[in-house]
Structures are given as structure tokens and as C-alpha cells.
Homo-oligomer: A and B are copies of this chain.
Amino acid sequence: MSDKKIKNIFVNGAISPSFISESIAKHSSKTEIGGHSIFLGQVRKDEIDGKSVSAIEYTAFEDLALEKMHEIRENIFEKYPLSCMHIYQSLGRVSAGEICLFVFTSSAHRKPAINACEEVVERLKAELPIWGKELFEDGSHQWKENK
């Protein structure tokens, strides 16, 4: 089921809810699917020393990130009996409250979709060379750190 060509995962700016619903709708013809698992990352308006995060600006070492993602994708398809897997990560500016990450896995029975989705999110955050710059309302910034 895995694609040999390297897929792009990057989208410019926020991921819209309508894009997500179109992705879901496309799977209605795949009638072997019984469960979809979706993770969405949303930009938090964190308060740090009295200043609020108004947006995160994402940059990436795109080539390397796509190669790494390809490797993760191949591993996940080997490990779980998935019908589909789709991954989208924002680059550029995403405002607080908007969606910056969309991971979408599907399988005949629920467990593989659920486990694969969680594993993709963990690996993407740990292994992909992507950086988030938290922009504050006053024009200052700090670099996001993943936990």
C-alpha cells in the first residue's frame, strides 16, 4: 500500500476545517475502511511572562523532512494494516486557534488506525526537522520547544 514516490506534506499557512472534511469525504468510496483516526494540532495562545502567543511561524529543512517522513510512512505501513495515511504540516504563519498539523489514518478495524495515528504524531514531532517560532502580540518571539 505504500507509495514509492516522496509525498509532500507541507501546506502554506493554516489547514482549514473544510480541507479536513474534503479529505474525509474522499474516503467514502473506500468501503473496506471501518475506522479513521485523526489528530489535529492547533496553535495555543500560550501566555508567557504576561505576553500572549498570537501565531506560530513554521520553517523546515524541507528536503530532509520529506525524506524522513517517507521513511516513517514506509515503517508505519509495514507495521500496521492501514488502508490510507495522510499527513499535512503547515509552514509559514498559523494564528492561535488555527490548525497546523493534520494526521489521518484509516484501516478496516479501529486499532491499527488509532495506533498508527498516535505513532505518526510522536515520530513527526521527534524526527522531522521543523521549527516553530512563537510570535507574541508585541512583536517579540521565542522558539517553540516540543515536550
Contacts and interface: CB of A to CB of B under 8 A. Distances in A.
B97 A31 contact: yes
A65 interface: no
B36 A39 contact: yes
A145 to B, nearest CB: 13
A113 to B, nearest CB: 8
A30 interface: yes
B96 A41 contact: no
Contact of A24 (B40, B44, B118, B147): B40
Closest 9 CB pairs of A and B: A21-B21, A31-B45, A17-B21, A38-B38, A28-B97, A36-B40, A17-B25, A17-B24, A34-B44
Nearest to A96: B31
A31 to B, nearest CB: 4
A8 B22 CA distance: 26
Contact of A42 (B17, B33, B98): B33
Is chain A's binding surface mostly helix, strand, loop or mixed? mixed
B17 A31 contact: no
A13 B67 CA distance: 42
A131 B37 CA distance: 22
B30 A97 contact: yes
Interface in A79-95: none
Contacts of A21: 17-18, 20-21
